[in-house]
Structure 1
Amino acid sequence: MELPASFADRTRSLLGDEEYNKLADALNDEQPVSIRLNEAKLPDASFSLFHGCAGRVPWSSTGCYLDRRLTFTFDPLFHAGCYYVQEASSMFVEQALKQYVGETPAVMLDLCAAPGGKSTHARSVLPAGSLLVANEVIRNRSQILAENLTKWGHPGVVVTNNDSVDFADLEDFFDVILTDVPCSGEGMFRKDPVAVSEWSPENVDICWQRQRRIVSDIWSSLKPGGLLIYSTCTYNTKEDEENIRWIRDEFGAEILPVNVSDDWNITGNLLAGDDFPAYRFLPHRAKGEGFFLAALRKPEADSLQTRYKSAPAQGKKKVVSGVSKEQLAVARGWLLSPDDYELSVNGTNITAFPKDYLPELSSLQQSLRVIQAGVALAEVKGKDLIPSHALAMSQVLRDDIFPREEVSYEQAIAYLRKEAIVLSAEAPRGYVLLTYTNIPLGFVKNIGNRANNLYPQEWRIRSGYLPEEILILSAAGINL
């Protein structure tokens, strides 16, 4: 890889000749592959979680390195949300969340969230009863974010599609804000050759200024005493330490230490003359790509005069829909803990959302463009109540509601391609939940001679062939 001359000069000045040469050599090595497992979906007894992996990601409770890249597109468990393919260094966010959020339920914003690696990770790490708002400013990327969070399966999630400035009206709203800000992408050089060609000193300057605007936009929505996690995938101090210093000086933020182990080989603050806690991953030291993180606390006394309050009740509006009370009752009966959720109807679609956060959802809907909230349960077509794919993926579905049919690998791939499926003669008529290695894949409607495939059209596997060699995750580890 031929690195830009200006990048080489800047980074050599930052690291010194010896360290820079090691970094440059590492950028020509093979990129490590890592995944993070979804403990909510993997049965404790049937999955040996790290069998077949090349070692644990030391700063992540559920991350592991792979000896070689899996055939993710053709792995049913990937589509079922059993794991997420995530760069190892970025899993360090877990350490800041675990250290500073504690056990009290929190309201968290992941501001620049697509495609969803840190959002799915945060949702797994946050205390039970928390709410995650995952936002992405680019419309088509927000749909990818929603898909990945749907597959992850947690009900306490709202997905939004907004610019950072749109959050300014939500004063003192969030306990935690993660700003994985758009950056010049130096840490992605090994992963993405386009990042090398697009890098320039001018782009670095554009990025650090944009990053400050983003933090300024969302600062008022962080509660006094709240946690701001700032991260980038770049090396230079302009986008990293200098921005952290600016946040401290501009807003009076306290820069917090994060507990790390010496054998993780994380590099600290590289800003000369200002020693505060900061954490940088360099690929020649830590097994992963380039990453930077700092954690900051908003001053307790930094409260706005106008505090966040729930919107006053306006009285219930009569909503005309094609959903009957009986159909709502049936959909409610599908839930594992129905009393914990409020059901809402939008046209012919029924959704469940955690009752504890209805005031927050109302405020989000008034200020932001909400893509999805909670779990979609069903669509009503006439007298038919069609269970949604989100319900199949979720943690809220009762196990005893729908009959289940275990399918083979070949059937699973056919289903994920949205092809017609033929079930066994013993399979009951009506809606059936397909499983692969006892993990839900989604619904079909069995009509006897075939089963109508209810997998989302836009999520289907588009490739019509199978590679000669297929590597997938299985109960025994990695299988060919």
Structure 2
Amino acid sequence: MNLPPQFITQTQSLLGDVEWQKLSEALEEPQPISIRLNQNKIDKYGICLSQDIFESIPWCESGFYLSARPTFTYDPLFHSGAYYVQEASSMFIEQIVKQHLPHKNIVALDLCAAPGGKTTLLRSLLPSNSLLIANEIVRKRAQILSENLLKWGHPDVIVTNNSSEDFSEYTNMFDLIVADVPCSGEGMFRKDEGAIAEWSVENVDVCWKRQRDIISSIWHSLKPGGLLIYSTCTYNTKENEENVAWILDTYGAQSLPVQIEDSWNITRSLYSKTLNTYRFMPHKTKGEGFFVSIIQKPLEEDDVVEFRFPKEKGKNKKRITAQEAINNKIFEESINWINNSNEVYDSVVYNDTLFAFPKLYMPYLQLYQKEKMCIVHAGTPIAYIKGKACIPHHALALSNLLQINTFEKVEISYEQAIAYLRKEAITLPAMTSKGFVILTYKNMPLGFVKSLGNRSNNLYPTEWRIRSGYMPQHLLTL
């Protein structure tokens, strides 16, 4: 690996000669491969995976190392959201959440969320009936984030495509903010050769300053007593411990300890023994470079800790147009496609698509819509209108809200599943009824087709399809 000379000098000075030598040798080794299971789906559908290739990640209950890299693109269970491919070190977020998050409904913001590894983990860990806003400033990456969250299947999510400054006016909105801030990416050198080419001392300086700007812009939106998880995938202290120290000094905040096992070989602060920070170094822990600290905002006796929604100037009831009335009539049947026995979810129609969104957090969605926040998706898309027909949305097939017995199910083979994911025609059994059918693979819902009797229409999203017609000779799937 051709590392930048200035990076070598900087990191050798930070670690010492012996530790640097061990790190440089580790960076020449193959990167570990790890996944995290979607336990909700695994349990619900009784999925059996190839446990013989698994080694548990000790700091994450649902995380596993793999002995060999599967062909993820050609694994239908990957596309159905049965698991997420995530770097092992970053799964340490689970320990922070379990040890410090209150056991109550909370509103959380994942500020720099794409592509969705920490976001899907966070959504699995939050107390039930909590709301997660997952944000990404880059539009293309926000679409990838949305896709991954829809595959994960949890309905209590809003995905936004905004800058950190756009959240600055929402004082005291969030109980928890996760800021996996853009960084110089030193910890990704083994994983991404592009990170090596982009690295420079000047870029490190740009990064630590930008990181402070990001924290400054969202600090007021964190409730007094609320928690900030600050993380990077880099080694230098400027972007790590020095920025944590700056947050504590600037805002009078407190860094909180996380209980860890000695066997995990996690490195504590390399800058100050008074800071509670945690480093994952590839020569010590099985994973890529990762840094994290949990910070608590100070809480004074007279602090207001609840978010105050802006007062509305008169409530003019919106009149329903003739087209909206027609659409509502078309959507009537599709309300029964979700499991809403406790009436936790409201239905919302937006751009000819019906969504299920938690009633408790409807004011947040309405506020974001009013404030012109860029919402990529909110809740679970249930159905959309095509012509005069109501079509089940693909996201419904992957959602935890799916009332699966509403539809006829057809179990398909591996070859059929790949054809479906390529958006090719699928031949159904002769006795299949006409109408919408949900395809399953290993009992896991994969998506919808419309049975027309002698043929079927593939309803898989065009933008999600497997574009390659190539099939690897040596396939390894879960």
TM-score normalised by the chain length of structure 1: 0.95
Greater shift, 381-390 or 261-270, is seen at 381-390
Given that 1:50 and 1:64 are in contact with CA atoms closer than 8 Å, whether structure 2 keeps it comes out as no
In structure 2, how many angstroms separate the alpha carbons of the residues matched to 1:45 and 1:342? 26
Among 341, 344, 357, the alignment partner of 1:353 is: 357
Given that 2:35 and 2:84 are in contact with CA atoms closer than 8 Å, whether structure 1 keeps it comes out as yes
Match status 1:206 vs 2:206: yes
Q: Which residue is equivalent to 1:364? A: 368
Given that 1:351 and 1:374 are in contact with CA atoms closer than 8 Å, whether structure 2 keeps it comes out as yes
**What amino acid sits opposite 1:333 in the alignment?**
N
Given that 2:4 and 2:199 are in contact with CA atoms closer than 8 Å, whether structure 1 keeps it comes out as yes
Task: Specify the SS of the correspondent of 2:93.
Answer: helix
Task: Specify the SS of the correspondent of 1:43.
Answer: helix
Given that 1:311 and 1:362 are in contact with CA atoms closer than 8 Å, whether structure 2 keeps it comes out as no
Match status 1:167 vs 2:170: no
**What amino acid sits opposite 1:300 in the alignment?**
L
Among 426, 436, 459, the alignment partner of 1:421 is: 426
Q: Which residue is equivalent to 2:336? A: 333
**What amino acid sits opposite 1:262 in the alignment?**
D
Given that 1:403 and 1:432 are in contact with CA atoms closer than 8 Å, whether structure 2 keeps it comes out as yes
Offset of residue 86 of structure 1: 0.3
**What amino acid sits opposite 2:331 in the alignment?**
L
Offset of residue 345 of structure 1: 1.3
Match status 1:467 vs 2:472: yes
Offset of residue 48 of structure 1: 4.7
Q: Which residue is equivalent to 1:316? A: 317
| Deviations 1:242-264, CA, capped at 9 Å, x for gaps | 00000000011110001111100
RMSD: 1.7
In structure 2, relative to structure 1, the CA distance for the partners of 1:49 and 1:453 (3 Å cut) is: closer
Given that 2:223 and 2:306 are in contact with CA atoms closer than 8 Å, whether structure 1 keeps it comes out as no
**What amino acid sits opposite 1:344 in the alignment?**
V
Greater shift, 190-199 or 44-53, is seen at 44-53
Q: How does 1:28-427 map to 2 (within 5 A)?
A: 28-43=28-43, 46-48=46-48, 51-272=51-272, 275-301=274-300, 303=303, 308-309=308-309, 311-312=311-312, 314-320=315-321, 321=323, 323-337=326-340, 339-367=343-371, 368-427=373-432
Q: Percent identity?
A: 54
Given that 1:311 and 1:363 are in contact with CA atoms closer than 8 Å, whether structure 2 keeps it comes out as no
Task: Specify the SS of the correspondent of 1:248.
Answer: helix
Greater shift, 306-315 or 162-171, is seen at 306-315
In structure 2, how many angstroms separate the alpha carbons of the residues matched to 1:376 and 1:462? 24
Greater shift, 416-425 or 322-331, is seen at 322-331
Given that 1:417 and 1:462 are in contact with CA atoms closer than 8 Å, whether structure 2 keeps it comes out as yes
Given that 1:282 and 1:289 are in contact with CA atoms closer than 8 Å, whether structure 2 keeps it comes out as yes
Given that 2:116 and 2:148 are in contact with CA atoms closer than 8 Å, whether structure 1 keeps it comes out as yes
Task: Specify the SS of the correspondent of 1:385.
Answer: strand
**What amino acid sits opposite 1:426 in the alignment?**
M
Task: Specify the SS of the correspondent of 2:108.
Answer: strand
Given that 1:310 and 1:360 are in contact with CA atoms closer than 8 Å, whether structure 2 keeps it comes out as no
Task: Specify the SS of the correspondent of 1:220.
Answer: helix
Q: Which residue is equivalent to 1:476? A: none
Task: Specify the SS of the correspondent of 1:285.
Answer: coil
Given that 1:233 and 1:292 are in contact with CA atoms closer than 8 Å, whether structure 2 keeps it comes out as yes
In structure 2, relative to structure 1, the CA distance for the partners of 1:44 and 1:326 (3 Å cut) is: closer
**What amino acid sits opposite 1:404 in the alignment?**
K
| Deviations 1:133-177, CA, capped at 9 Å, x for gaps | 000000111000000000000000000000100100111000000
Greater shift, 233-242 or 382-391, is seen at 382-391
In structure 2, relative to structure 1, the CA distance for the partners of 1:113 and 1:311 (3 Å cut) is: farther
Given that 2:47 and 2:443 are in contact with CA atoms closer than 8 Å, whether structure 1 keeps it comes out as no
Greater shift, 7-16 or 316-325, is seen at 316-325
Given that 2:47 and 2:442 are in contact with CA atoms closer than 8 Å, whether structure 1 keeps it comes out as no
Q: Which residue is equivalent to 2:448? A: 443
TM-score normalised by the chain length of structure 2: 0.96
Greater shift, 80-89 or 315-324, is seen at 315-324
**What amino acid sits opposite 1:469 in the alignment?**
H
In structure 2, how many angstroms separate the alpha carbons of the residues matched to 1:306 and 1:260? 32
Given that 1:38 and 1:152 are in contact with CA atoms closer than 8 Å, whether structure 2 keeps it comes out as yes
In structure 2, how many angstroms separate the alpha carbons of the residues matched to 1:408 and 1:54? 24
Given that 2:57 and 2:88 are in contact with CA atoms closer than 8 Å, whether structure 1 keeps it comes out as yes
Given that 1:404 and 1:433 are in contact with CA atoms closer than 8 Å, whether structure 2 keeps it comes out as yes
In structure 2, how many angstroms separate the alpha carbons of the residues matched to 1:360 and 1:100? 25
Task: Specify the SS of the correspondent of 2:463.
Answer: helix
The count of residues paired between Structure 1 and Structure 2 equals 472
Greater shift, 373-382 or 297-306, is seen at 297-306
Offset of residue 46 of structure 1: 4.0
Match status 1:20 vs 2:23: no
Task: Specify the SS of the correspondent of 1:41.
Answer: helix
Given that 2:237 and 2:270 are in contact with CA atoms closer than 8 Å, whether structure 1 keeps it comes out as yes
In structure 2, how many angstroms separate the alpha carbons of the residues matched to 1:383 and 1:319? 18
5+ residue gaps in structure 1?
474-480
Greater shift, 387-396 or 312-321, is seen at 312-321
| Deviations 1:358-394, CA, capped at 9 Å, x for gaps | 1122222233211110011111234421000011110
Given that 1:53 and 1:64 are in contact with CA atoms closer than 8 Å, whether structure 2 keeps it comes out as no
Task: Specify the SS of the correspondent of 1:315.
Answer: coil
In structure 2, how many angstroms separate the alpha carbons of the residues matched to 1:409 and 1:130? 36
Offset of residue 49 of structure 1: 5.4
Greater shift, 355-364 or 132-141, is seen at 355-364
Given that 1:50 and 1:56 are in contact with CA atoms closer than 8 Å, whether structure 2 keeps it comes out as no
Task: Specify the SS of the correspondent of 1:81.
Answer: coil
